[in-house]
C-alpha cells in the first residue's frame, strides 16, 4: 500500500477512535451544557461521520493486486457470477491498471469456453452420438497421441525389423481392430493412453474391447532381441515413438455399425522390462476407469475422452 494511503488510513482510524469516544461521552457532561433537543441531532451527525470514515478506510485498503487475486480465485473455482462481480469491482476502481487488462482478457476466454461448452451440450442433447466430433489426436499434459490409421483386419503386424516381423491372426468369426499411432511426450517414461472399441447401443456406447500396444518396428533384429538398445523406441531418448495397438472383436459385435475408437487421457499402459523377452521392453495394460462399459455422449464433454475414429 502506498505511504500516503497508509497515512490517510491511520488518520481515518484515529478520527474514528475520537468520534467513537465522543459518542460514548456525549452524555457525560453536565445536563445544563446542551439541551435535550440538541443531543439526537449531534449523535446522528457523529454516526454519519463514523460511517463515512469506515467506508473511506475500506476503500483505502483496496488495491489492483488484491482485486486481481479475487478474480483469479473465482476463475479457478469456475464461479461465473463471482468472476464477473470481482472483475466489475476491479475495473470500476482501477480501470487502467495492468491487472484490469489481464483479468479482462482471462474472463473473456473463460466466457468463450463456457459458451462453447454450453453449445456442445445443446448439440449432444439434440443429436446424440451423431454430434460426437472425431478428433484424431489426444493431448493431455505433455503427452500427445496421434492416430495414423485404423482398420478391421485379419492380421496384426508388429515388432518389424529389417525383413522380419511378428504377427497375430484373428480367430475364426473374429476380426482385429488395428490402430497405428504416434505418441509424443516430454516425459522420460510416460504411461500410454487407454484405447477401447465401442459400438452404438441406442443413444449410448457399449464397450466391446480394449486395445493393447506393441512397438511398430525395431532398428534391426539385434535390437528386437535386446542385445543392444534401440533409442527410437525409448522416450528417454526420442520425442516420438511409433506404436501399434489392436483388439480382437467378434463378428456379431461388428454387425452393429458404426464402430467407435475411443481414447482416454488416463494413463493405462505401463512400460515394463524383461531381460530375456523378445522384445525385452513392452507395455502392460491396467484397468482404465474412464473407459467404462457404457459411455454417455455427455462423458466426452470433459475433454478426457476423445473419439479418434468412427468406422462405418
Tell whether the model's pLDDT for residue 113 goes beyond 80. Answer: yes
pLDDT bucket at 56, cuts 50 / 70 / 90: low
Give 63-104 pLDDT, tens digit per residue: 888 888 889 999 998 888 999 998 998 898 888 888 899 999
* pLDDT value, residue 61: 60
Contact 252, 282 (CB under 8 A): no
Q: How far apart are CA 77 and CA 201, in angstroms?
A: 36
Phi, psi of 182 (to 5 degrees): -125, 125
When comparing pLDDT for 155 and 124, which is higher?
155
Interval 34-53: pLDDT, tens: 444 456 778 887 888 777 77
pLDDT of residue 286: 93
Which of the four pLDDT bands, split at 50, 70 and 90, describes residue 198? Answer: very high
DSSP assignment of 271-302 equals EEE-TTSSSSEEEEE---TTS-SEE-GGGGTT
Residues 230, 237: Cα–Cα separation, whole Å: 9
Report the pLDDT averaged over residues 13-30.
45
Query: What average pLDDT does range 232-242 have in this prediction?
Result: 95
Backbone torsions φ then ψ of 32, nearest 5 degrees: -90, 0
Predicted pLDDT at 281: 94
23 pLDDT higher than 60: no
User: Across residues 252-264, what is the average pLDDT?
Assistant: 91
Is the pLDDT at 294 greater than 90? The verdict is: yes
CA distances from 34 to 26, 40, 73 (A): 10, 11, 54
CA gap 298, 305 in Å, rounded: 10
Query: What value does the mean pLDDT take over residues 12-22?
Result: 43
Number of residues that this document lists for the chain: 312
Mean pLDDT of the 6-31 span:
43
- CB-based contact 144:133 (threshold 8 Å): no
Q: What percent of the chain shows pLDDT beyond 90?
A: 54
Query: What's phi and psi for 302, nearest 5 deg?
Result: -70, -20
pLDDT value at residue 43: 82
Question: pLDDT at residue 121 above 90?
Answer: no
Taking residues 164-185, what's their average pLDDT?
96
Exposure string for 235-272, b = 16+ CB within 10 A, e = fewer:
beeeeebebbbbbbbeeebbeeeebbbbbbbbbbbeee
SS3 state at 148? strand
Q: Are 138 and 193 in contact (CB under 8 A)?
A: yes
pLDDT score recorded for residue 213: 98
Q: Which three cell numbers stand for residue 246?
A: 489392436
Least confident of 35-39, 184-188, 246-250, 303-307: 35-39
Q: Are 136 and 149 in contact (CB under 8 A)?
A: no
Q: Look over the chain and give the mean of its residue pLDDT values, rounded to a whole number.
A: 84
As given in the structure block, the three cell numbers for residue 210 are 480394449
pTM above 0.75, yes or no: no
Residue 85 per-residue DSSP state? H
Domain-wise residue ranges, the chain: 3-109, 132-311
Amino acid at each position: 500500500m502506498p505511504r500516503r494511503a497508509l497515512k490517510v488510513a491511520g488518520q481515518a482510524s484515529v478520527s474514528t477512535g475520537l468520534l467513537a469516544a465522543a459518542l460514548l461521552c456525549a452524555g457525560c457532561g453536565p445536563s445544563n451544557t446542551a439541551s435535550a433537543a440538541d443531543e439526537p441531532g449531534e449523535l446522528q451527525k457523529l454516526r454519519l461521520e463514523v460511517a463515512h470514515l469506515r467506508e473511506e478506510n475500506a476503500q483505502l485498503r483496496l488495491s489492483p493486486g488484491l482485486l486481481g487475486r479475487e478474480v483469479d480465485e473465482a476463475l479457478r473455482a469456475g464461479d461465473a457470477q463471482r468472476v464477473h462481480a470481482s472483475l466489475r469491482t476491479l475495473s470500476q476502481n482501477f480501470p487502467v491498471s495492468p491487472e484490469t487488462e489481464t483479468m479482462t482478457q482471462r474472463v473473456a476466454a473463460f466466457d468463450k469456453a463456457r459458451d462453447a461448452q454450453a453449445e456442445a451440450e445443446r448439440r449432444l442433447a439434440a443429436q446424440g452420438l451423431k454430434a460426437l466430433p472425431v478428433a484424431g489426436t489426444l493431448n493431455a499434459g505433455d503427452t500427445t497421441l496421434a492416430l495414423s490409421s485404423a482398420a478391421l483386419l485379419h492380421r496384426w503386424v508388429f515388432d518389424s525389423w529389417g525383413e522380419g516381423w511378428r504377427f497375430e491372426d484373428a480367430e475364426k468369426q473374429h476380426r482385429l481392430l488395428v490402430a497405428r499411432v504416434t505418441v509424443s511426450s516430454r516425459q522420460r517414461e510416460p504411461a500410454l493412453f487407454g484405447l477401447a472399441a465401442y459400438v452404438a447401443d441406442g443413444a449410448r456406447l457399449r464397450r466391446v474391447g480394449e486395445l493393447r500396444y506393441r512397438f511398430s518396428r525395431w532398428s534391426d533384429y539385434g535390437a528386437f532381441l535386446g542385445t543392444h538398445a534401440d533409442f527410437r523406441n525409448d522416450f528417454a531418448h526420442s520425442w516420438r515413438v511409433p506404436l501399434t495397438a489392436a483388439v480382437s472383436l467378434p463378428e456379431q459385435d461388428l454387425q452393429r455399425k458404426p464402430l467407435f475408437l475411443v481414447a482416454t487421457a488416463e494413463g493405462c499402459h505401463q512400460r515394463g522390462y524383461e531381460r530375456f523377452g523378445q522384445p525385452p521392453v513392452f507395455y502392460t495394460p491396467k484397468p482404465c476407469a474412464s473407459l467404462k462399459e457404457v459411455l454417455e455422449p455427455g462423458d466426452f464433454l470433459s475433454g478426457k475422452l476423445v473419439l479418434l475414429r468412427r468406422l462405418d
